């Protein structure tokens, strides 16, 4: 069953200008990972420091494999350098599409 994962980020104010390019570079690997159906980054209209990465996965197993890979030296990124606090991950099973 497809899964949509929301990765909620709160960016450091002093890194806002460089954050979009760095996030896009990091997410190129996510886009290329097996089972990724696509993703988008959305920005809170009232708070530029609050962004969410919306990831679409073929299955929970694909998403699990991706998260496990990100925890390895090969998959590690410098995303944490941009963050004002820890990211929050919420995953949803897709029940229907319109």
Token pair, residue 3, equals 């899964």
SS3 78: coil
Whether 89 is in a domain gets the answer yes
Whether 27 is in a domain gets the answer yes
User: What range defines the domain where residue 49 resides?
Assistant: 3-93
Amino acid 95: pLDDT: 86
pTM over 0.85: yes
CATH at residue 63: 3.30.70.100
Q: Which residues of the chain have pLDDT under 70?
A: none
Whether 98 is in a domain gets the answer no
Q: Nearest Cα to 93, choosing from 53, 50, 63, 49?
A: 63
Whether 38 is in a domain gets the answer yes
Mean pLDDT for all residues in the chain:
96
Amino acid 19: pLDDT: 95
Q: Looking at the 3D structure of the chain, how many domains does it have?
A: 1
Whether 83 is in a domain gets the answer yes
Whether 21 is in a domain gets the answer yes
The DSSP code sequence of 9-63 is: EEB-GGGTTTHHHHHHHHHHHHHHSTTEEEEEEEE-TT-TTEEEEEEEES-HHHH
Whether 62 is in a domain gets the answer yes
Whether 34 is in a domain gets the answer yes
């Amino acid at each position: 069953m497809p899964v949509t994962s929301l990765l909620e980020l709160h960016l450091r104010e002093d890194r806002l200008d460089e954050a979009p390019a760095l996030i896009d570079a990091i997410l190129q690997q996510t886009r290329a990972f097996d089972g990724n159906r696509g993703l988008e980054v959305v920005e809170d209209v009232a708070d530029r420091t609050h962004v969410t990465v919306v990831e679409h996965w073929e299955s929970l197993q694909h998403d699990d494999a991706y998260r496990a890979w990100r925890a390895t030296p090969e998959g590690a990124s410098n995303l944490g350098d941009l963050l004002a606090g820890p990211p929050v991950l919420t995953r949803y099973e897709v029940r229907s599409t319109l």
